[in-house]
Structure 1
Amino acid sequence: MFEKQLWQHAASSLNEFADFISEALKGPVTIEDATHRLLAYSGHPQVTDGARTATIMGRRVPEEVIHRLWNEGVIPSLHQQNEPISISAIDEIGLGTRMAVAVKEKQTVIGYIWVVEGDTPFSEEAKEDLHSAAVVCGQRFRQQLHPRNPAQQDQQEYFWRLLTGDETDEQAVEHQILRFFPGRAQQFSIVVIEFSERLEHNAWEQLNYLLTISQQVKVMLKTYDQHQAILMLYGLESRNIEATISAFLRQMHRVWQERYGDTLMAIAASEICHRYTEVAGGYSQALTMLDLKKQVRQLPSHYYFLHEAGYYRFFPVLLQRWDEETFTHPSLKNLFDYDAENETELLSTLYIYLSEDCNVNAAAKILHVHPNTLSYRLKRMQAIAGIRLNTAHEKWTLLLELELLKEKQTSQL
């Protein structure tokens, strides 16, 4: 009887379908798509919670709720099984006790149904009813949400025309992009994400999932090529788009590693673009930064923009020149020989001191020594190698020499 009524309500609006499930299971219902975008919700005359209210207000599940549900193993469990699961309250994110089920098509998740627990705990019969609701809802989703591929293919093809510089008329490009993406983004960046293996359907869908649930950035256009995903991103925080994009990329890299392993190798981004005809140049900048990350092992993974690389930008040329020369900086050679003879670490101490902009306290903290101990070591360096760190030229010359030496040693390991 219940399943027959479900099919009857499925023919009406999705909100009425949610209301029917809510009435049958005695708890407020939300229905979401695979990226946690709110599709429908029931009334909630008796109970609700903060997470559900925030979802309805924002038309999407809050990002911190999604990440917490992943970390708690809730969403992975929904993906792995077809039956509804019970979820204990998580007060820190405003999540009350509830029951949930994934809506699937051939074991691919295409949505979710969530039911907040009312005054009485859910029974086994309620779980069976929610499972039936997921089956019926899957049929409804397939009717409503499928025919998108042709439009997506058009967007990818047009994006490639921008990336290769085939489009040079700013007004014409803006007109075309407005067809794909309503509203003009004043600032954006071209981001290239490189994976250790060829991007297949599952990895592409996983990446799209992380991009879609973000409430920091939006994707205007996207495509992929072999091992690389290429994105046109803009930040929802317009006052500092670079910081917004950087924070998102760092978080995405961490989340990818936690959920999917170490297949994401590196991320690079263009400087912030203001015109659509800058896309090709931005793409070239991102590829340059990506190549730099492969060549310079010391470049931190969370540096995404070319200007963040600083003097590392010139390392490939400098290393080649360094290999061709027989010159060795005499002060550093003296310190190297002294360390070898006396089993000291003056050379590494000097590197950390210079890296910390000659801040004694900061360097001493990293070295786990007292500032007075570091000051003594610096005096020993002066006596042994004649080092005088009283000009910016002297400091940066020694730091650059040490950076090149470290990069060379790292590449030989």
Structure 2
Amino acid sequence: MELKELLKRLPEGSVALRKLRDPEVNIDNICFLTATTRCIHSNVLYFSDDVHLPEAPVEEIFNLVLFGCQEVPKGLLESASCNVILLRLEFNPFSCYNDLQGFFLEDIQVTDIVRRMLTAHFTNNGLQYLIEEASRALGNPIVVVDSAYHYVARHVEGRLNPQNPIDRVLEQEFHYESILEDGVAFIEHERISERCAQSSTPIVVYNEVLGANTMVTPSVVHGVTIAHTMMIERDHPFGEVDVECMARLGRFVAQEMQKTNLYVASRGQMDSYFLTSLLNDEQPSHAVTARRLSVLDFRPLPELYLAVFDPNHADVAPHDLDSIAMQLTGCLTNSIYATYERALVVLFSREKGTGLGDYTEELLRKVADVNDLSVGVSNAFEDLTHIQSHYEQARAAISAGRLVSVFLEDGQVYHYCDYAYVQMLDLTNKQYNLLNFVHPSLMRLARYDREHGTELMDTLFIYLQNACNTQRSARMLSLHKNTLLYRLGRIREILGCDLSSGEDQFMLQLSYRVLFYLDLFKSRLNISRKDFRAEED
């Protein structure tokens, strides 16, 4: 912090004399000079009486608040490297020190919080992620509301408590993704938008609907207020740190909203039309595509993914898909979307080699679960003119995922790379009898189960899925390890192989997939993909 800014926090009327050779010197610490002080540092502001001043002249910049004397020693006044402030005798130097120290620590706290928000902003994880980080850093709920009073981002740490009046209102509004009638009436009656526009800092107003103070700051783009960011005094009282940080957050929100095409209606319609026409074009031209991207000023990152959000129920309206798109706000940075063939289609763009990212993957699962959707995600691609084939991949992933979910639950988000083999079976099934590809030894095991009432097919499937790990398999099957080993011995006898060969394992896994596809075998266990991830045994 610059010295001149720090000194503004000294009590009014406390300075008798001020002589600053370099008022812009950066101060990193404040301390009292003592008899044990051996070295003077140019980034420290020292408090001292005339008894503890250094005897030898200080060659580097010496920042000093002098107290307990009538005048400044002549040597300090004439020094070309000394910034000196003389306090009036009637002012307590310890009180002045505490005032500066409090402000100094407050500035450090602001810097840490702003750095945290800035880091979130530059991760390109989107507006929702920025608001989550800001809310955690400031310790109170934060919401972003657009000009139509819809929530475009929000975060409350922990679970909402219906017994708390604030939480009760927030829970209702979060359910509808919008400020309700009472809240809108309050905002308009209190002229919140006008007051924000007239203030150079965030405003604080008591919100009668919430029963709590709210701090509000606008997000302005090209002179137009596109949203308001609000923090609610729920978990701790507001302070000076909150004012400074919320002012910065309002600017970050404006920058994030410019990156997300959802918020400018005309721009969003153009992007939607571009994506739809691209999907309809069987042979898109590189030159035409590049020219249209230039007109749209859309510069996708090098790695592309196409995701299709397909409702699992028939009664879905276009505005429902728009609502789903709003819920995806947090991950739509550098992305565009459109409604296509009664589904929501999103073109994600990401940096090379980063994938969609954990944050986006988790948000896709949440949105799919809340709205009863199946989500298909294509493989990565780089050339937009290849979008049609990757749209087919996403659609194929949904079809395959719904089929395979009878034995492997994937949270309704299906990546084509995990289900490509099902499309291969689809194509093969049109020309060949797929049972020809089932290994005869597995058919013998299935016949043995039917004749003896055993569950060896299930046992072998779980064992293969767990990469032949007996401990994890026994745990999943709820068997003692010795019981599993006995069953595996019997399975090896029936199959006529010891299961140690990669070739045998591949043919058996393929055979299981064919039987699942033909609906000739179902596992009795309800399992998910994450159940097969490696873990410590």
Could you state the TM-score of these two structures normalised by the residue count of structure 2? 0.48
Secondary structure, in 3 states, of the residue corresponding to 1:241? coil
Backbone CA RMSD of aligned residues: 4.5
1:104 is matched with none
How far off its partner does 1:183 sit? 4.1
1:241 is matched with 354
CA distance in 1 between partners of 2:279 and 2:267 (Å): 18
CA distance in 2 between partners of 1:281 and 1:326 (Å): 30
2:333 is matched with 218
Pairing 1:77-92 to 2, within 5 Å after superposition: 77-78=172-173, 79=178, 81-84=180-183
Q: Deviations over 1:217-262 (max 9, x none)?
A: 4253221124211111124xx3643241x7524433324533x4x2
Q: Deviations over 1:318-370 (max 9, x none)?
A: 55677575797443343334333433211210111111121212211211223
Greater share of residues in helix: 1
- Match for residue 188 of structure 1 among 304, 319, 338: 304
Residue type of the partner of 1:254? K
Secondary structure, in 3 states, of the residue corresponding to 1:188? strand
Residue 306 and residue 242 in structure 1: after superposition, are their counterparts in 2 closer, same or farther (change >3 A)? same
1:9 is matched with none
Residue type of the partner of 1:373? T
> Do structure 1's residue 257 and structure 2's residue 365 form an aligned pair?
no
CA distance in 2 between partners of 1:111 and 1:74 (Å): 20
Contact 2:305 2:378 in 1 (8 A): yes
> Do structure 1's residue 368 and structure 2's residue 439 form an aligned pair?
no
CA distance in 2 between partners of 1:411 and 1:99 (Å): 61
How far off its partner does 1:411 sit? 9.0
Residue 151 and residue 198 in structure 1: after superposition, are their counterparts in 2 closer, same or farther (change >3 A)? farther
Residue type of the partner of 1:313? Q
Secondary structure, in 3 states, of the residue corresponding to 1:285? helix
CA distance in 2 between partners of 1:393 and 1:363 (Å): 21
Query: What percent identity do the matched residue pairs reach?
Result: 19
Contact 1:346 1:377 in 2 (8 A): yes
Contact 1:100 1:113 in 2 (8 A): no
Instruction: Return 5+ residue gaps in structure 1 as ranges.
Output: 1-34, 39-47, 56-60, 86-95, 102-109, 122-145
CA distance in 2 between partners of 1:234 and 1:199 (Å): 27
Contact 1:339 1:347 in 2 (8 A): yes
- Match for residue 347 of structure 2 among 232, 242, 252: 232
Residue type of the partner of 1:157? Y
Contact 1:191 1:232 in 2 (8 A): yes
CA distance in 1 between partners of 2:380 and 2:235 (Å): 52
Residue type of the partner of 2:346? L
2:394 is matched with 286
Larger radius of gyration: 2
2:326 is matched with 209
Residue type of the partner of 1:227? R
2:381 is matched with 273
1:65 is matched with 155
How far off its partner does 1:309 sit? 1.8
Residue 83 and residue 250 in structure 1: after superposition, are their counterparts in 2 closer, same or farther (change >3 A)? same
CA distance in 2 between partners of 1:282 and 1:209 (Å): 24
> Do structure 1's residue 409 and structure 2's residue 519 form an aligned pair?
yes
- Match for residue 377 of structure 1 among 473, 487, 500: 487
> Do structure 1's residue 306 and structure 2's residue 416 form an aligned pair?
yes
Secondary structure, in 3 states, of the residue corresponding to 1:287? helix
CA distance in 2 between partners of 1:242 and 1:36 (Å): 19
CA distance in 1 between partners of 2:236 and 2:140 (Å): 20
CA distance in 2 between partners of 1:295 and 1:202 (Å): 28
CA distance in 2 between partners of 1:151 and 1:69 (Å): 36
Residue 373 and residue 74 in structure 1: after superposition, are their counterparts in 2 closer, same or farther (change >3 A)? farther
Contact 1:100 1:115 in 2 (8 A): yes
Q: Deviations over 1:69-121 (max 9, x none)?
A: 78966544124842349xxxxxxxxxx994569xxxxxxxx977746449999
Q: How many residues align?
A: 315
2:32 is matched with none
CA distance in 2 between partners of 1:388 and 1:327 (Å): 20
Contact 1:271 1:282 in 2 (8 A): yes
CA distance in 1 between partners of 2:234 and 2:410 (Å): 47
Contact 2:428 2:434 in 1 (8 A): no
Q: Deviations over 1:264-317 (max 9, x none)?
A: 1x1112222223323233223323333433554456545633222253332224
Could you state the TM-score of these two structures normalised by the residue count of structure 1? 0.61
How far off its partner does 1:175 sit? 4.1
Contact 2:516 2:522 in 1 (8 A): no
How far off its partner does 1:171 sit? 4.9
Contact 1:364 1:374 in 2 (8 A): yes
Secondary structure, in 3 states, of the residue corresponding to 1:83? helix
Residue 50 and residue 112 in structure 1: after superposition, are their counterparts in 2 closer, same or farther (change >3 A)? same
Contact 2:401 2:414 in 1 (8 A): no
Secondary structure, in 3 states, of the residue corresponding to 1:381? helix
Bigger mean CA offset, 158-167 vs 403-412: 403-412
1:155 is matched with 271
CA distance in 2 between partners of 1:399 and 1:168 (Å): 39
Residue 386 and residue 161 in structure 1: after superposition, are their counterparts in 2 closer, same or farther (change >3 A)? same
Residue type of the partner of 1:362? R
CA distance in 1 between partners of 2:464 and 2:280 (Å): 42
- Match for residue 505 of structure 2 among 375, 381, 395: 395
CA distance in 2 between partners of 1:207 and 1:53 (Å): 21
Work out which structure has the larger RCO, using CA pairs closer than 8 Å and 6 or more positions apart in sequence: 1
Q: Deviations over 1:185-225 (max 9, x none)?
A: 2222121111123542431232121122x1x4425322112
Pairing 1:7-86 to 2, within 5 Å after superposition: 49-51=138-140, 65=155, 75-78=170-173, 79=178, 81-84=180-183
Contact 2:141 2:155 in 1 (8 A): no
Secondary structure, in 3 states, of the residue corresponding to 1:223? strand
Secondary structure, in 3 states, of the residue corresponding to 1:332? helix
Residue type of the partner of 1:397? M
Residue type of the partner of 1:191? A
Contact 2:270 2:296 in 1 (8 A): no
